[in-house]
Amino acid sequence: MGGTEEKGQETFLECESSRVFALLMMSSGLLGAFTYLLRGGVFCNAQTGNILLLGLALGQAQLRRAAYLLIPITAYWLGAVVSEILPVPVRRAGLLRWDTWLVGFEILVTVLLGFLPESAPFQISQVAINFICSMQYNTFRQAEGVPMSTTFCTNNLRQVGIHMVKWVKKGSAASLQRSLRYGGSLVMFVLGAALGAVLCRFFAGRAIWGSSLLLLIVFADLMYADRTREKGKLEQVPRGH
């Protein structure tokens, strides 16, 4: 369903479309596979694990380890801060939407990371991916009015269960539709991770360019919308912000 198609009485921006969110989920799954398999055995899409490890390090008086963990946590925090500050001046510029610029920036980062030698410190890739995943999570919040994360799956999985129960109890078609939509997002994430595993096996560090390609498709879609049918909506704020 396109971003400007009607859904009841509502219309949605292209950056809120289901297809954009599906590709972003797939890209995030690939990034998770990339960092886990090739860049230190960690997942950089979210920070729950790092914050837990920070607490463990402090409790065990491992101060150097705690200080090290502050690096990815701070990078993720900065991503959220930057993605809150930049949309306003970007909207005033009136060329492209912030969402579009962000995806373009993600393409640049992932392409550059693919050129890093395998001997480069893992932290370079980890911190960069922490940063862009945080910005993406804070920017893309709702898929056609449905709150959804694009960089991790915990809440999406929870929502599958919630809406499935509502459907069983009340026979609500809307709840079934939401449950299937959240389930679809999980499928895309898993497919991205599977693709990432295959690419990592054959292409090593350049496997991250698979994410770049998926993001390039999103970027082209968003840029086309910005310069054509949504040219007069560049200052419209997506739902959830």
pLDDT tens digits, one per residue of 27-36? 999 999 999 9
What phi and psi values does residue 171 have, to the nearest 5 degrees? 65, 30
Q: What is the pTM of this model?
A: 0.91
Q: What is the pLDDT of residue 7?
A: 44
173-216 per-position pLDDT tens digit: 989 999 999 999 999 999 999 999 999 999 999 999 999 999 99
**132 vs 122: CA distance, rounded Å:** 16
Buried b (16+ CB within 10 A) or exposed e, 129-167: bbbbbbbbbbbbbbbbebebbbbbbeebeebbeebbebb
CATH 1.20.1250 fits domain 16-233: yes
Name which of 235, 182, 214, 228 is nearest 4 in CA terms.
228
